[in-house]
């Protein structure tokens, strides 16, 4: 790009043409005051505070919207400019209410700060305040538009960043204000309570509702959101060791670009609840009683070692967590494998994605991992399958909506339900639950028939295409339409949109968690290979990660089938590698996954289970079955930050620290490894998980104590090639590609990737007794089973009921109206819910949100696998729906 040279305040400056004067100044350390400008918003030149003067021409201009030009001689602080700025601020202050002086947002109000910097004190103009009511009925946001300066940042954030369109300018002239349609309260509008507008508002017009604290936090610290796998960068504000505020980071290269979702912004208040554990507990006389760390760890160490001695290493198991850090997962699985000699290690992601991700990892030899979300806004076409990111990972939803609405990128959505992305899509494929294998193979058959394949990619990087193509030619498309419920016109349209394009696949729990997930993923990999869609930042697989460190837990080998670095446990070479490093002989016995652990506990073969950061009694189906299995254990250790359904039945409870109270790293769904530091101290005697594990290892005779997080990250970076960048003093690193496949190798050497055979699956079968497909999914207000978000006061105060959604046609048949109470039953249990009608559901399907009512929806599901081996199949169930009470 052409370089432009100019002077700013006498300093020679050079920058690419098209740069605004404001950015040119900022990049050269020259500060210009602004109110309506923001790093992630298109500049509009609304406030005029950033005026600068061209000394040569005497022309004044808004620097945020004026590009640099050769030979400009810009003054940012000339007497003329100062006078203009002071007048602008005086006018704004005159519009402000008198309460401005005592506003609780005063310390963070940019208007007040700039006024102070310019020496504007008492308002000397005739005051013309806008009196508007205070809107604070919802538990998240307070709106006091009397303090609005019409900078438009909230509206632009709502339209340009989160693409919701809940607010816009209303009325004209002096009365103009940002408002919802028909001035409805926010909770009745389409607002998602992401809070992005609040964190970007330069005045006190929009603020966070905080019943526990009023005023500015005493300390602000950067960290990573503790909820989902996007890993948003946040600032946590604290007062006296308590988190009182969360805002998005406004740095340039964060994954969330100044946005958050309702969970990240408002649900971290769960960190201060009375259910936090603050001391170790030991069961004695049927009760859990406080103990010292020494006492508790003695019981755990002796219990684990004696179980190993008495019953053998297979009698002990370790269930880790995708909520705990990379470092903690590493030493957790190491403790199991090295000290206890067992490969019985798993983590909570078993239920959400493990099987499918492991398959991809094996088929692509770990390649194609690095997927910056920014690539979605540069994609040729996006295919969203079995994912509703607007609810599960809302920041990914923002990327997709921006890609479609702002960049015009075609979007195909395959989902049984009309999700929040469907209005942004070019095509919605309302596929019948469980029939994605047929859908993908049908589309692939049509792409192949229409000659939409990438032959040079196929020749260079793959093998077995001919057989695969023959399989597609023989594929019964009419049957596929019948099974999927997608008509041929839509199938053809999908193939037309995809052919000849490189595809960015966004894959969610509709695939990851379904009973034929592995076969569906096999079919998706074939389609990606056929279209040459695997390498590059704007194509390939974007897997939705529900928990913040799902990827990191798998990378660190907190699973029975992989050792750290995602090296297969069954591979002798990889096992020998770790035997050398850990100086130990690793048992080659295949370990138990979560499901097998429960089954072995049921049979009485598993004697001791160590659970870190998971709550199986709330998260997994068939609670009573799990409770009975756990009651068979001689030792159940639960390490957690909260009192949960599972800590209640433990023999020993170890009080852990939350992510905000310790250091470590999380790996997000992009492959970005983000390190964080403690923001506050843990409550009472609670300790970081890594420290507890270090102390326990020592008690069990392991010589090396883990005295610092740095020591653990150094061990990881030394020995796990894909984490070689970890802990090098940087806040951020990326997973490294180390695949041996030619496709992912810089030098073009290595193996080619085989196509797999075309398979067919029936989809879900229904009978007269259970005629409805119940789709079990998340809403944005809760994460997973809701152990944490269910304790957030704000989320509770919002009063969501978790209604069952049913199509108007089915409601009519069942004589149901909105607000009626219905019983939903499966062969495994039943629940009761209020009914709401959803026109976006096809007849025969109902949607039930998980996490509500203590996550009782899990009682509808069977714990043991119903589909392919090791697939949880927990996202869909055939059910019956009956009316039990009329809305009154």
Pick what 48 binds: ligand FES, ligand SF4, none; C-beta below 5 to 8 Å, kind-dependent: ligand FES
Cα distance between residue 617 and residue 620, in whole Å: 6
CA–centroid distance for 800 within its chain = 21
Burial class (CB in 10 A: 0-12, 13-18, 19+), 82: middle
Number of residues that bind ligand SF4 (CB under 6 A): 40
Q: How many residues are there in the chain?
A: 888
Closest residue to bound ligand SF4 by CB: 264
Whose Cβ is closer to ligand SF4: residue 90's or residue 828's?
A: 90
Segment contacting ligand SF4 (CB under 6 A): 201-209, 409-417, 481-489, 720-728?
201-209
- Residue 231 interacts with ligand SF4 (CB under 6 A): yes or no: yes
Beta strands in 764-843 (DSSP E): 772-777, 804-806, 821-826, 829-837
Identify the residue among 62, 194, 480, 530 touching ligand SF4 (CB under 6 A). Answer: 194
Whose Cβ is closer to ligand SF4: residue 208's or residue 297's?
A: 208
Helix H or strand E encompassing 533 = none
- Sketch the per residue contact string, 235 through 264, with ligand SF4: x for CB under 6 A, - otherwise: ---------------------x---xx-xx
> Cα angle vertex 815, ends 814, 816, to 5°?
90
Pick what 158 binds: ligand SF4, ligand FES, none; C-beta below 5 to 8 Å, kind-dependent: ligand SF4
Helix H or strand E encompassing 361 = helix 354-363
Report helix, strand or coil for 751. strand
Cα distance between residue 233 and residue 254, in whole Å: 6
> Cα angle vertex 100, ends 96, 104, to 5°?
140
Report the relative pairing of strands 462-463 and 753-754 from DSSP bridges: parallel
The dihedrals phi and psi of 238, each to the nearest 5 degrees, come to -130, 155
Q: Within positions 116 to 175, which residues make up the interface with ligand SF4, using CB under 6 A?
A: 148-154, 157-158, 162, 164, 166-167
Cα distance between residue 526 and residue 96, in whole Å: 61
- Residue 225 interacts with ligand SF4 (CB under 6 A): yes or no: yes
Query: Are the beta carbons of 287 and 515 closer than 8 angstroms?
Result: no
Whose Cβ is closer to ligand SF4: residue 395's or residue 445's?
A: 395
What does the block give as tokens for 706?
Answer: 């883990």
Identify the residue among 193, 318, 383, 578 touching ligand SF4 (CB under 6 A). Answer: 193
Whose Cβ is closer to ligand FES: residue 22's or residue 411's?
A: 22
- Sketch the per residue contact string, 482 through 521, with ligand FES: x for CB under 6 A, - otherwise: ----------------------------------------
Whose Cβ is closer to ligand SF4: residue 232's or residue 494's?
A: 232
What is the smallest separation between the CB atom of 169 and ligand SF4, expressed in angstroms? 9
Pick what 64 binds: ligand SF4, ligand FES, none; C-beta below 5 to 8 Å, kind-dependent: ligand FES
Pick what 46 binds: ligand FES, ligand SF4, none; C-beta below 5 to 8 Å, kind-dependent: ligand FES
Cα distance between residue 16 and residue 37, in whole Å: 20
What is the smallest separation between the CB atom of 267 and ligand SF4, expressed in angstroms? 8
Whose Cβ is closer to ligand FES: residue 84's or residue 698's?
A: 84
Whose Cβ is closer to ligand SF4: residue 151's or residue 336's?
A: 151
- What is the dihedral sign for C-alpha 852, 854, 855, 860? negative
Q: Cβ contacts of residue 401 below 8 Å, gap of 6+? A: 162, 163, 390, 421, 424
CA 347 → CA 313, 393, 511, 601, 625, distances in Å?
Answer: 18, 20, 19, 17, 19
Whose Cβ is closer to ligand SF4: residue 231's or residue 366's?
A: 231
What does the block give as tokens for 503?
Answer: 């595809």
Cα distance between residue 441 and residue 526, in whole Å: 9
Whose Cβ is closer to ligand SF4: residue 204's or residue 452's?
A: 204
- Residue 774 interacts with ligand SF4 (CB under 6 A): yes or no: no
Whose Cβ is closer to ligand FES: residue 61's or residue 319's?
A: 61
Pick what 45 binds: ligand SF4, ligand FES, none; C-beta below 5 to 8 Å, kind-dependent: ligand FES
Burial readout 430-455 (b: 16 or more C-beta within 10 A, e: otherwise)? bbbbbbbbbbbbbbbbbbbbeebbbe
- Residue 191 interacts with ligand SF4 (CB under 6 A): yes or no: yes
What is the smallest separation between the CB atom of 84 and ligand FES, expressed in angstroms? 12
CA 814 → CA 86, 194, 554, 821, 844, distances in Å?
Answer: 67, 36, 45, 12, 12
- Sketch the per residue contact string, 394 through 433, with ligand SF4: x for CB under 6 A, - otherwise: xx--------------------------------------
- Residue 784 interacts with ligand SF4 (CB under 6 A): yes or no: no
CA–centroid distance for 495 within its chain = 30
DSSP codes of every residue in 831-867: EEEEEEE-TTB-TTEEEEESSSGGGGGGGGS-SS--S
Identify the residue among 25, 62, 339, 835 touching ligand FES (CB under 6 A). Answer: 62
Pick what 159 binds: ligand FES, ligand SF4, none; C-beta below 5 to 8 Å, kind-dependent: none
Whose Cβ is closer to ligand SF4: residue 65's or residue 581's?
A: 65
Number of residues that bind ligand FES (CB under 6 A): 12
- Sketch the per residue contact string, 16 through 55, with ligand FES: x for CB under 6 A, - otherwise: ------------------xxxx-------xxxxxx-----
CA 626 → CA 90, 258, 598, 619, distances in Å?
Answer: 67, 42, 7, 11
What is the smallest separation between the CB atom of 65 and ligand FES, expressed in angstroms? 6
What does the block give as tokens for 412?
Answer: 């195909």
Residues forming contacts to ligand FES in the complex (CB under 6 A) are 34-37, 45-50, 62, 64
Residues forming contacts to ligand SF4 in the complex (CB under 6 A) are 148-154, 157-158, 162, 164, 166-167, 178, 191-197, 201-203, 205-206, 225, 227-228, 230-232, 256, 260-261, 263-264, 393-395
């Amino acid at each position: 790009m052409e370089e432009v040279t100019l002077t700013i305040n006498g300093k020679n400056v050079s920058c690419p043409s098209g740069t605004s004067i404001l950015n040119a100044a900022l990049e050269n350390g020259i500060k210009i005051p602004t109110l309506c400008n923001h790093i992630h918003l298109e500049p509009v030149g609304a406030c005029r505070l950033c005026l600068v003067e061209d000394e040569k021409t005497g022309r004044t201009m808004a620097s945020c919207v004026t590009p640099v030009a050769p030979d400009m001689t810009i003054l940012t602080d000339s007497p003329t400019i100062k006078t203009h700025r002071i007048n602008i601020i005086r006018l704004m202050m005159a519009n402000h209410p008198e309460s401005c002086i005592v506003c609780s947002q005063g310390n963070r109000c940019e208007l007040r700060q700039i006024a102070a910097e310019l020496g504007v004190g008492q308002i000397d103009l005739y005051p013309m305040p806008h009196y508007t009511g205070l809107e604070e009925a919802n538990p998240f946001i307070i709106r006091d538009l009397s303090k609005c300066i019409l900078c438009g940042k909230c509206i632009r954030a709502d339209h340009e960043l989160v693409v919701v369109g809940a607010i816009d300018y209303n009325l004209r002239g002096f009365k103009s204000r940002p408002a919802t349609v028909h001035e409805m309260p926010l909770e009745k509008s389409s607002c998602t309570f992401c809070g992005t507008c609040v964190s970007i508002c330069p005045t006190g017009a929009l603020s966070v509702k905080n019943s526990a604290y009023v005023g500015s936090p005493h300390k602000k610290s950067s960290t990573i959101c503790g909820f989902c796998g996007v890993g948003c960068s946040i600032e946590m504000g604290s007062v006296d060791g308590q988190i009182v505020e969360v805002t998005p980071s406004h740095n340039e290269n964060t994954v969330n670009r100044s946005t958050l979702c309702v969970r990240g912004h408002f649900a971290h208040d769960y960190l201060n609840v009375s259910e936090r554990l603050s001391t170790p507990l030991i069961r004695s006389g049927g009760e859990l009683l406080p103990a010292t760390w020494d006492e508790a760890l003695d019981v755990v160490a002796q219990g684990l070692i004696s179980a190993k001695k008495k019953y053998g290493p297979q009698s002990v198991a370790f269930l880790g967590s995708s909520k705990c850090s990379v470092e903690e997962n590493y030493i957790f699985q190491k403790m199991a494998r090295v000290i206890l000699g067992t490969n019985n290690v798993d983590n909570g992601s078993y239920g959400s994605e493990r099987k499918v991700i492991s398959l991809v990892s094996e088929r692509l030899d770990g390649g194609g991992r690095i997927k910056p979300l920014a690539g979605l806004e540069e994609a040729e076409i996006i295919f969203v399958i079995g994912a509703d990111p607007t609810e599960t990972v809302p920041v990914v939803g923002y990327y997709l909506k921006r890609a479609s609405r702002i960049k015009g990128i075609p979007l195909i959505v395959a989902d049984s339900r009309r999700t929040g992305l469907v209005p942004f899509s070019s095509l919605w494929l309302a596929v019948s639950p469980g029939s994605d294998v047929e859908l993908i193979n049908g589309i692939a058959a049509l792409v192949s028939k229409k000659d939409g394949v990438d032959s040079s990619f196929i020749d260079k990087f793959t093998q077995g295409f001919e057989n695969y193509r023959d399989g597609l030619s023989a594929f019964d498309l009419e049957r596929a339409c019948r099974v999927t419920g997608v008509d041929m016109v839509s199938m053809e349209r999908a193939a037309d949109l995809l052919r000849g394009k490189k595809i960015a696949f966004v894959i969610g729990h509709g695939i990851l968690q379904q009973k034929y997930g592995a076969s569906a993923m096999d079919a998706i990999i074939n389609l990606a290979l056929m279209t040459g869609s695997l390498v590059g930042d704007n194509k390939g697989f974007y897997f939705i990660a529900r928990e913040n460190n799902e990827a990191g837990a798998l990378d660190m080998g907190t699973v029975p089938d992989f050792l750290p670095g995602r090296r297969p446990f069954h591979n002798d070479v990889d096992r020998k590698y770790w035997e050398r490093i850990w100086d130990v002989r690793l048992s080659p016995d295949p370990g138990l996954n979560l499901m097998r652990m429960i089954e072995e506990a049921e049979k009485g073969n598993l004697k001791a289970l160590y659970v870190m950061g998971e709550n199986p009694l709330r998260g997994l189906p068939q609670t009573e079955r799990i409770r009975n299995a756990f009651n068979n254990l001689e030792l159940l250790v639960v390490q957690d930050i909260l009192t949960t359904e599972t800590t209640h039945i433990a023999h020993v409870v170890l009080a852990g620290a939350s992510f905000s109270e310790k250091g470590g790293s999380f790996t997000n769904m992009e492959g970005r490894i983000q390190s964080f530091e403690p923001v506050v101290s843990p409550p009472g005697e609670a300790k970081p998980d890594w420290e507890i594990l270090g102390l326990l290892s020592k008690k069990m005779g392991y010589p090396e104590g883990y005295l610092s997080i740095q020591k653990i990250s150094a061990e990881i970076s030394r020995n796990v090639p894909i984490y070689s960048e970890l802990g090098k003093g940087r806040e951020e690193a990326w997973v490294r590609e180390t695949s041996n496949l030619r496709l992912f190798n810089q030098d073009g050497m290595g193996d080619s990737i085989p196509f797999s055979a075309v398979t067919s699956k029936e989809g879900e079968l229904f009978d007269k007794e259970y005629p409805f497909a119940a789709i079990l999914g998340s809403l944005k207000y809760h994460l997973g089973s809701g152990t944490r978000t269910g304790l957030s006061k704000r989320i509770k105060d919002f009063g969501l009921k978790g209604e069952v959604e049913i199509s108007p046609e089915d409601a009519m048949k069942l004589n149901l109206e909105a607000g009626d109470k219905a019983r939903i039953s499966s062969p495994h249990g039943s629940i009761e819910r209020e009914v709401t009608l959803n026109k976006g559901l096809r007849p025969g399907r109902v949607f039930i949100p998980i996490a509500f009512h203590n996550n009782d929806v899990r009682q509808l599901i069977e714990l043991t696998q119903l589909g392919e081996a090791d697939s949880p199949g927990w996202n869909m169930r055939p059910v019956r729906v009956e009316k039990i009470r009329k809305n009154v």
